[in-house]
């Protein structure tokens, strides 16, 4: 029987890839990637999938590959794989795998792996017997003690997995992989840390680092305090690479060799294999494939997107009275000032120290899971005061067992090896014991945890994760494997403990994470400074700069929900820094405000470490941007639903949405949030910045009559209370408005209704995802003369709406072909059951109505 070959591993030219003559010596050869190469032009093939050399010059007849199907073809020189969307070709001589898309365009070449046995390096070459598999191949290389079985298979049409399994791994310490790096190719991801140095991050940050990691050497070792790491990067050429497991490694991103990216990792003798996974697609597609493999991101409850207030330390002092009861004075100050200043309630976190018991500085508490009655008198009443005001409550946690907890952990044998502080979460009994203790917090009314630490620290063992090969944990993994893996276990146990009791109605946020941690919570960016040298040095704006860059980095890492210590963990020393950080954090999925109190002040605009201490301008900025963040919760939550399904980041560097625009390829300080483009400022004293707007029409959010046609670079003026903010024309922004603070509505008009802020141009659609299901909103000018009407089609659950729409002149508004009544003012519209008001000065149409069924049509017509 003859079968027509379906293969597209070819493209328009050849790509240089190494063949090995001797260990460590790399020569060049050519790998077929393109249709023009005769080796790629395979005609019919036989039942066994093999094509003889005599068949190669024949005419080319492709059979399409559909769905999940994988085609595997072997010739004397090569093995070729093809899915509907990707392709790969193993050159048997060089042991190089060329990767391409379905159309045959070459993306990169995975170069021959190298295995290090002590001082000897074996380069994989000379492929021997090949066994064709249903979705790939398995090949032998080497002989005797250095024999290796190499398996390459499509896990999905876009995911190719490569596994090396030595016949004898005795003495094997490291495995190096590499991919070819093309000129101009960019690499994204790996770490939130701006540079692979703690000194240039937490202590005295520098204006270094970029979105593109090319030219860097990055260690894959989870260290404090900016502790999100993934052994996973994206290429601007349309592929991604992920190293499986949790062993430590080093990425050389075309620094030592400008033509290659190398991935040098410790070998794991426990598993006996080394795996590298290649993804093919755009950035969103790669994240979808990556999180399908490593775990879908955690979806917080809707309340998790409200802002979070916390203090690093609620001070021991004379109590103050609230609700007729004595309580911690700092706590009372927070609640009373929020109420006095009209700042909306959100979430409140009690940071360390909050428990009783152990008193050593730096480790206060963790003897129990009880509030310290000295620091927090009447804690039950205190928690009730929060709940009665609409707050959800979180507390600080760490993997530490001290005091009375230490007695139990010691007696039961639940400590990690070589430590008398850290729990061995790989021990199911220890995990169950700890989970039961953690669940006692739920009975107090606690809805989540801020989970700190769990990453390695370069100190004596102390609270560091045991990281030696001789540190064997309960499940058999050793310290080398748990160096990066401990933080995943830590997250899993705390997630599962709360999920067992609360279902989805909880949220933990973590400082540290590795590949897979995204399943268990959301993340914040560690001890970002507002002052240098642990808060003892001068003020700096470079901590805010590093936070902005970190947000861009984590978008590529599979951590879609992230925030930062607003004002800096080491507290700001210049009021500009707090203002600009508040503006930036308002557009981050996690807006959390708090940190240390170095230099006085409490990260609060009514208690500033700068003059004036009671800062009315800063109070207004604080209130405005906290309120705006709350209004954006429907947008954040809808995007979070999508992230939980696909890994797609909520906040996106522009290169995600405009990948073909070279101006955004390394642009790290502008972002898309739905249809909003925001461009934070970070320099002290800065009141304007350059903003790049990609192709399309953009509307200045602050001056909505101003439209800009992109691509364009402009100078955006930004007073201290403004952040450059633009809306994509055609944009629909869902809002939850409950006050008049931002001008997006009012309590009387908007509360309890979904506000749709719309910017009509052509046809555009918003799919709003909520716990109750999906709603679809489509803006168009269907059936209208140009510019004469706008139509909003709604498909979703019945509810009340406020539609706010840019318009020049409005003569009539109809809901399902029935005219709505025109109101004389916005105040009149607020008390009406339904109707519309046109603000001619602002160029805004306001419409109030409710839907009774699943479908409705709103139509606004010009005069």
**What was the pLDDT predicted at 146?**
75
Query: Per residue in 1-16, pLDDT tens?
Result: 222 222 222 332 233 3
Does residue 338 surpass a pLDDT of 50? yes
Q: Of 522, 552, 574, at which residue does a domain stop?
A: 522
pLDDT band with cut points at 50, 70 and 90 for residue 118 = confident
The CATH number assigned to the domain holding 307 equals: 3.20.20.80
Q: Say if residue 757 is in the same domain as residue 839.
A: yes
- Indicate the pLDDT class of residue 586, thresholds 50, 70 and 90: very high
Name the more confident of 682 and 118: 682
Could you tell me the sign of the dihedral formed by the alpha carbons of 821, 822, 828, 829, in that order?
positive
Question: Phi and psi for 695 in degrees, rounded to 5?
Answer: -60, 145
Q: Residue 79 — very low, low, confident or very high, per pLDDT cuts 50/70/90?
A: very high
Full-model pTM: 0.92
**785 Cβ neighbours under 8 A, 6+ residues apart:** none
Pick from 674, 701, 728: which residue ends a domain?
728
Whole-number percent of the chain with pLDDT over 70? 90
Segments forming the whole domain that contains residue 376? 295-522
Structural domains of the chain, count: 4
Q: Do residues 364 and 418 share a domain?
A: yes
Distance in angstroms (rounded) separating the CA atoms of residues 734 and 637: 10
DSSP alpha helix (H) spans, 153-304: 283-294
CATH number of the domain that residue 221 is part of: 2.60.40.1760
Does residue 238 sit in the same domain as residue 308? no
Collapsing DSSP states into helix, strand and coil, what is residue 483? helix
Q: Which residues contact 143 (CB under 8 A, 6 or more apart)?
A: none
Phi, psi angle pair for 156, to nearest 5°: -150, 175
DSSP codes joined into one string, 362-418: T----S-SSB-TTTSTTHHHHHHHHHHTT-EEEEEE-SB--HHHHHHHHHHT-BPTT
Shared domain check, 325 and 379: yes
User: With bands split at pLDDT 50, 70 and 90, how would you rate the model's confidence at 331?
Assistant: very high
pLDDT at 45 exceeding the cut of 70: no
Q: How confident is the model at residue 404 (pLDDT cuts 50, 70, 90)?
A: confident
User: Is the per-residue pLDDT at 329 higher than 60?
Assistant: yes
Q: Is the pLDDT of residue 169 over 70?
A: yes
Select the more confidently predicted residue: 472 or 197: 472
The answer to whether residues 314 and 285 belong to one domain is no
Dump pLDDT digits (tens) for 632-670: 999 999 999 999 999 999 999 999 999 999 999 999 999
Residue 363: the pLDDT is 66
User: Phi/psi of residue 572, each to 5°?
Assistant: -50, 150
Mean pLDDT calculated for residue range 207-224: 94
Q: Tokens 């879609």 label which residue?
A: 560
Q: Across 244-377, where does the E strand assignment appear? A: 249-253, 260-266, 274-280, 308-311, 320-322, 325-327, 347-350
CATH at 824: 2.60.40.1180
528's tokens:
């970002």
Q: Where are the beta strands (DSSP E) in 102-197?
A: 106-117, 120-123, 130-132, 136-141, 148-156, 159-166, 172-180, 187-191
Residue 99, domain member (yes or no):
yes
Residue 104 is predicted with a pLDDT of 67
Asked whether residue 135 is domain-assigned, the answer is yes
Within its chain, how far is the Cα of 796 from the centroid?
A: 29
> Are residues 476 and 379 part of one domain?
yes
pLDDT digits (tens, 9 = 90+) for 735-789: 999 999 999 999 999 999 999 999 999 899 999 999 999 999 999 988 777 678 9
Please report the DSSP string for 21-40 in residue order. Answer: EETTEEEEEEE--STTSGGG
One domain, residues 749 and 845: yes
Residue 541 domain-assigned? no
Same structural domain for residues 261 and 313?
Answer: no
Helices (H), 454-541: 479-502
Query: Is the confidence at residue 25, as pLDDT, over 70?
Result: no
Kindly state whether residue 561 falls inside one of the protein's structural domains.
Answer: no
646 within domain boundaries: no
Specify the pairing of strand 347-350 against strand 308-311. parallel
Lowest mean pLDDT among 127-131, 334-338, 341-345, 414-418: 127-131
How far are the Cα atoms of 310, 328, 361, 429 from residue 316, in angstroms, in the given order? 16, 8, 14, 37
Residues near 238 by beta carbon (within 8 Å), at least 6 away in sequence: 101, 107, 280, 281, 282
328 shares a domain with 207: no
And the tokens for 84? 């509907």
Question: What does the pLDDT read at residue 598?
Answer: 76
Same domain, 200 and 289: yes
Q: Is residue 566 part of a domain?
A: no
Note whether 751 and 852 are same-domain residues: yes
Rounded Cα–Cα distance for residues 599 and 571 (Å): 8
Among 728, 749, 768, the domain boundary falls at 728
pLDDT band at 461 (very low <50, low <70, confident <90, very high): low
Residue 547 lies in a domain: no
Q: pLDDT tens across 549-572, in order? A: 999 999 999 999 999 999 999 999
pLDDT at residue number 464: 84
Residues 184 and 328 grouped into a single domain: no
In a domain, 138, yes or no: yes
């Amino acid at each position: 029987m003859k079968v027509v070959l379906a293969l597209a591993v070819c493209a328009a030219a050849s790509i240089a890839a190494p063949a090995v003559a001797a260990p460590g010596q790399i020569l060049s050869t050519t790998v077929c990637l393109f249709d023009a190469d005769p080796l790629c032009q395979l005609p019919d093939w036989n039942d066994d999938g093999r094509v003889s050399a005599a068949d190669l010059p024949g005419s080319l007849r492709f059979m399409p590959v559909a769905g999940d199907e994988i085609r595997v073809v072997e010739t004397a020189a090569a093995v070729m794989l093809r899915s509907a969307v990707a392709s790969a070709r193993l050159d048997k001589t060089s042991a190089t795998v060329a990767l391409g898309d379905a159309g045959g365009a070459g993306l990169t070449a995975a170069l021959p792996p190298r295995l290090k046995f002590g001082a000897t390096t074996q380069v994989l070459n000379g492929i021997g017997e090949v066994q064709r598999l249903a979705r790939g191949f398995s090949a032998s290389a080497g002989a005797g003690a250095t024999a290796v079985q190499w398996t390459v298979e499509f896990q999905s049409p876009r995911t190719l997995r490569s596994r090396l399994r030595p016949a004898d791994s005795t003495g094997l310490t490291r495995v190096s992989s590499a991919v070819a790096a093309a000129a101009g190719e960019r690499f994204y991801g790996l770490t939130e840390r701006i540079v692979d140095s703690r000194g240039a991050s937490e202590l005295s940050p520098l204006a270094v680092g970029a979105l593109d990691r090319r030219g860097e050497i990055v260690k894959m070792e989870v260290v404090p305090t900016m502790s999100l790491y993934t052994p996973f990067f994206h290429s601007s050429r349309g592929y991604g690479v992920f190293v499986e497991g949790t062993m430590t490694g080093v990425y050389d991103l075309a620094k030592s060799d400008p033509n290659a990216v190398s991935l040098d990792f410790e070998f794991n003798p426990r598993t006996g294999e080394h795996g590298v996974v290649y993804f093919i697609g755009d950035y969103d597609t790669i994240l979808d494939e990556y999180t399908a493999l490593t775990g879908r991101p955690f979806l917080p409850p809707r309340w998790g997107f409200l802002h979070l207030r916390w203090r690093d330390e609620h001070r021991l002092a004379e109590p103050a009275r609230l609700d007729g009861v004595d309580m911690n004075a700092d706590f009372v100050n927070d609640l009373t000032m929020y109420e006095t200043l009209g700042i909306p309630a959100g979430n409140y976190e009690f940071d360390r120290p909050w428990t009783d018991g152990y008193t050593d500085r730096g480790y206060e508490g963790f003897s129990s899971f009880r509030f310290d009655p000295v620091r927090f008198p009447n804690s039950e009443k205190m928690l009730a005061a929060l709940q009665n005001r609409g707050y959800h409550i979180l507390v600080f946690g760490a993997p530490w067992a001290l005091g009375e907890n230490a007695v139990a952990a010691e007696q039961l044998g639940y400590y990690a090896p070589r430590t008398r502080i850290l729990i061995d979460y790989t021990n199911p009994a220890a995990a169950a014991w700890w989970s039961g203790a953690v669940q006692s917090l739920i009975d107090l009314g606690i809805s989540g945890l801020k989970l700190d630490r769990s990453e390695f620290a370069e100190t004596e063992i102390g609270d560091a994760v045991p990281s030696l090969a001789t540190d064997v944990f309960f499940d058999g993994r050793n310290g080398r494997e748990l160096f990066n893996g401990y933080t995943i276990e830590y997250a899993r146990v705390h997630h599962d403990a709360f999920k067992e009791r609360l279902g989805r109605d909880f949220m933990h946020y973590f400082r540290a994470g590795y590949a897979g941690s995204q399943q268990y919570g959301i993340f914040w960016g560690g001890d970002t400074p507002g002052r240098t040298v642990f808060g003892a040095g001068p003020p700096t704006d470079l901590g805010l700069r590093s936070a902005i860059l970190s947000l861009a980095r984590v978008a590529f890492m599979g951590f879609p929900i992230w925030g930062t210590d607003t004002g800096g963990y080491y507290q700001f020393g210049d009021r500009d820094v707090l203002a600009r950080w508040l503006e930036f954090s308002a557009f981050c999925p996690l807006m959390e405000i708090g940190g240390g109190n170095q230099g006085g002040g409490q990260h609060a605009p009514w208690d500033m470490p700068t003059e004036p201490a009671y800062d009315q301008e800063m109070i207004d900025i604080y209130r405005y941007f906290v309120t705006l963040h709350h209004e954006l919760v429907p947008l954040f939550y809808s995007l979070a639903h999508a992230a939980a399904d696909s890994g797609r980041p909520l906040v996106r560097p522009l290169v995600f949405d405009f990948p073909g625009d070279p101006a955004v390829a390394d642009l790290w300080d502008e972002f898309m949030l739905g249809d909003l483009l925001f461009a934070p400022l970070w320099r002290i004293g800065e009141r304007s910045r350059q903003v790049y707007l990609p192709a399309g029409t953009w509307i200045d959010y602050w001056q909505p009559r101003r439209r800009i046609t992109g691509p364009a670079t402009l100078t955006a003026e930004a007073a201290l209370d403004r952040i450059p903010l633009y809306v994509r024309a055609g944009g629909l922004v869902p809002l939850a408005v409950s006050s008049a603070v931002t001008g997006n509505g009012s309590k009387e008009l908007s509360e309890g209704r979904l506000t749709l802020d719309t910017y009509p141009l052509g046809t555009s659609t918003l799919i709003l995802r909520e716990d109750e299901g999906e709603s679809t909103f489509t803006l168009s000018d269907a059936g209208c003369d140009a510019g004469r009407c706008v139509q909003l089609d709604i498909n979703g659950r019945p509810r009340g709406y406020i539609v706010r729409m840019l318009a020049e002149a409005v003569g009539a508004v109809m809901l399902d072909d029935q005219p709505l009544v025109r109101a004389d003012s916005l105040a009149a519209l607020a008390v009406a059951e339904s109707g519309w008001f046109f603000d001619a000065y602002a160029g805004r149409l306001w419409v109030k109505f409710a839907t009774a069924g699943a479908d409705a049509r709103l139509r606004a017509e010009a005069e």
